[in-house]
Structure 1
Amino acid sequence: MNNMNVLPRERLPELQLIRAFAIIGVLSVHSTSYAVSAMTDSKYFFIYNFMNIFMKHGTPTFIFLSSFVLFYNYYDRPMTKKLIGGFYKKRLLYIIIPYTLFSVFYFTLLHFLYYQGRPFGDTIESFVQKLLTGKAYTHLYFVFISIQFYVLFPLVLWLFKKVPKLVQWAIPIGLVIQWMFILMNKYYWQVPNKGSWAFSYIAYFMLGAFIGIYYPKLKAWLVISRANARSYRVVAWLMLWIAWGAAGFAHVSMYYNSRLYGTVYNSTLYELMWNAHTYLGTLVLLQFAILFYRAGVRSWTSAFERMGAVSFGIYLIHPFFLLLYRHFPLITGNSILIHLWYAGGFAAALGCSWIVVELTVRFIPGSWVIFGNIPKAKKPVKQADSPALPLSGS
């Protein structure tokens, strides 16, 4: 391949929809975390349990998508010091700086709420330890994992470019490494907070790498459309969605039985069901996003695209609004109002976070320091005046 004449790859706007679906998953899990323990006596407990477990695709999908985009954009480009330097500069500015800022914010918030009597030296030591392990607040582990993958990315990219045949084995390599880590940790290492380490998610990273590199070749298999429909592809699509649904149902059922009836399952089975459910789910969400984008419902598509664009900012700040919302619990015996209050937690986390991010990006210079590289919202274009977009897979 002549790297000096690499053609730019096709733009994939539907990927923003996947980010939107992923952040909805994150908010669903976080906003129902209290309800699944408080509503076990409710006849609607199965709904809370479903939203809390079935929607756990958020973090794995973000990791898969980040890897997909990186390898999709970088694989055909020559590896130079300038390219790698630019890559790390962007991650420093748009990921690590906001991560550090929000680590300070949440650590300070928790300090004044719960640890005001702690000695200054212990406070500083605790902050440094939490900053370096992604534990300043419960959700920041994801950014910490992402930083680990950013460190790993140039090495994996170099290896795949040096030995292209390795790309064909990216999926099994990722699964083997992840499950070796899971099993070795269970029986030997017992690393605390193993979910904060990249090896717990490396199968998703390698899946994203495989699809990102081979996307032009895999497109006919991934894009569900009449033009791509062949009997063998339709069978593959159906098998994927059925397997995902079955894994998701099993995953949800295990937690339902455990939470409601105290059923005990082997911890490895939890890992397996979560992995199968969310791993297949990344591919299902990719297909669904493309279908949704092709459907052409302009108002909905635009809203989800924008949600995807601001998803990193929403992710960073939404726990603050959940914390604030839960500070004023609803005291009532009316079950309908209780259900509405729990639903309101999701609405508050999404709505308030989205508004704050949009206002920050729009009116505060240098907003990238707070929420990363988020583009300002474009003015809506009338449908009649907008150019027709080529359909994916056509």
Structure 2
Amino acid sequence: MTQARRYIPEINLLRAMAILAVVMIHATSNALVQLQTSSSFYGLYVFLHEFAVFAVPAFIFISGFVLTYNYVGKPLNGGTIAVFYRKRIWNAVLPYAIFSLLYFLLKAKFAPTADSATKFLGQLLTGQAYGHLYFMFVIIQYYILFPILLLALRSGWVRRHIWWIGIVLQFGYYYLNREYIVHQTGWPDVLHRTGSLFISYFGVFTVAMWIAIHYERILSWFAARPAARRLSALLAYALWLASGFYFVYLRYQGLVHKDWADGQVFTYTQFVFNIASAIALFLLSNLILRRPKALLARLLGNIGICSFGIYFVHPAVLYYYRDMPVPGNGMLFHVYYVCEYLAALLVAWGITWAIQRNFRWAWILFGTSSVPKKKPSASQ
């Protein structure tokens, strides 16, 4: 696997779908608080909010796939590792630090206090400067860990079995947390926020690694078996929808009827939904790209290129949008939340696109790979 890695445009569309789901989660969160559970529309908002939870695991999947696809064939030496970490610092750590500071100041109404520096440093190091920034904290953990995973992939046995190794470790951590960690007091708060720890998504990441390792072989196998390819796609879509609807049903039963599912059932269902979502949307991206000049493909392609900026900027749009009171009128209530979603997406997209297109320093905010004027590189 030492040949040059080719660009995979499906990944960019998958990014677009994931960021659309991220915005959906954040734009509908207040609606679930404002709306009475007895409302006939409450189920719709539960669906919109909960079905979109595949977003973060999808981004984890993308990172696992792209990093492995681009690095597994390279020599693992000091030079490679140095280049890897240098790219992560410019592409992720620097933008994360800048936006963490901006959101910290936004929460403080741009009036820092005497102890603000200490507070900011603590929040920066734990992904807590603003609600959505925990994701960057998780991704940076994967960046730190990834060279160790590459070293493990030198073993042929690990390369073949990495997918289930990650799943076992993820669920091993789940049981350890449930039986032991949650009962501990005096431990750092970050250890009790399982969603902020890489191990909580490790199965998704390693499944993506396995697919990336065998990607060319998988493509060749399906190319020779079109019937098997179609059947596999249908099964992936069916599993995605079935697990997604069941996951939403479990959440609805808990939110409306206080009939909360057993923790293990909920965890297994969400895990299957996360994996199925990433694979099904990957396949859907391939289907959309069969007409690459179609409007949908071009729009999703640009959203994918701007997704990192949309991720960083859209919570600020929501912050100011929510200064407007929520209408009590039934129809205006729904119009308010439709506009909230559209404003968060379109304003953040427009700001990101304009900065990337017109300013050389855009890389400081959005990373060196976010350059829509050129064909995006497969390199991460």
Query: CA 1:120 to 1:340, structure 2 compared with 1: closer, same or farther past 3 Å?
Result: same
Q: Is the 8 A contact 2:19 2:311 kept in 1?
A: yes
Is 1:278 paired with 2:274? yes
**Residue 170 of structure 2 corresponds to which residue in structure 1?**
178
- Find 2:331's aligned residue among 336, 344, 353: 336
How many Å separate the matches in 2 of 1:29 and 1:344? 14
**DSSP-derived class of the 1:112 partner:** coil
How many Å separate the matches in 1 of 2:354 and 2:65? 30
For residues 1-394 of structure 1, the aligned pairs below 5 Å read 6-39=2-35, 40-112=37-109, 120-121=114-115, 123-161=116-154, 163-190=155-182, 191-220=191-220, 228-230=225-227, 232-333=228-329, 335-378=330-373
**DSSP-derived class of the 2:226 partner:** coil
Q: Is the 8 A contact 1:313 1:372 kept in 2?
A: no
How many Å separate the matches in 2 of 1:11 and 1:286? 14
The one-letter amino acid of 1:135's match is Q
TM-score by length of 1: 0.88
Q: CA deviation at 1:374?
A: 4.4
Return 5+ residue gaps in structure 1 as ranges.
381-394
How many Å separate the matches in 2 of 1:16 and 1:150? 20
Q: Is the 8 A contact 1:314 1:353 kept in 2?
A: yes
Once the two structures are overlaid, the 10-residue window that deviates more, 263-272 or 320-329, is 263-272
The one-letter amino acid of 1:309's match is I
**Residue 185 of structure 2 corresponds to which residue in structure 1?**
none
How many Å separate the matches in 2 of 1:138 and 1:375? 23
Q: CA deviation at 1:188?
A: 0.2
TM-score by length of 2: 0.91
Q: CA deviation at 1:235?
A: 4.1
How many Å separate the matches in 1 of 2:318 and 2:71? 37
How many Å separate the matches in 2 of 1:285 and 1:216? 19
**DSSP-derived class of the 1:54 partner:** helix
**Residue 390 of structure 1 corresponds to which residue in structure 2?**
none
Alignment coverage as a number of residue pairs: 366
The one-letter amino acid of 1:142's match is F
Q: Is the 8 A contact 1:361 1:374 kept in 2?
A: no
Q: Is the 8 A contact 1:68 1:211 kept in 2?
A: yes
**Residue 378 of structure 2 corresponds to which residue in structure 1?**
none
Return 5+ residue gaps in structure 2 as ranges.
183-190, 376-380
Q: Is the 8 A contact 1:28 1:52 kept in 2?
A: yes
How many Å separate the matches in 1 of 2:300 and 2:165? 33
How many Å separate the matches in 2 of 1:263 and 1:351? 37
How many Å separate the matches in 1 of 2:369 and 2:6? 21
State the 4+ residue runs in structure 1 displaced beyond 6 angstroms: none
The one-letter amino acid of 2:274's match is T
Q: What do residues 120-169 of structure 1 show as CA deviations (whole Å, max 9, x unaligned)?
A: 23x332211111111111110111100000011111111102x1221111
Q: Is the 8 A contact 1:361 1:375 kept in 2?
A: yes
CA RMSD of aligned residues (A): 2.0
How many Å separate the matches in 2 of 1:192 and 1:120? 28
Q: CA deviation at 1:233?
A: 4.6
Query: CA 1:234 to 1:358, structure 2 compared with 1: closer, same or farther past 3 Å?
Result: closer
The one-letter amino acid of 1:120's match is A
Q: Is the 8 A contact 1:360 1:367 kept in 2?
A: yes
The one-letter amino acid of 1:204's match is V
Q: CA deviation at 1:375?
A: 4.0
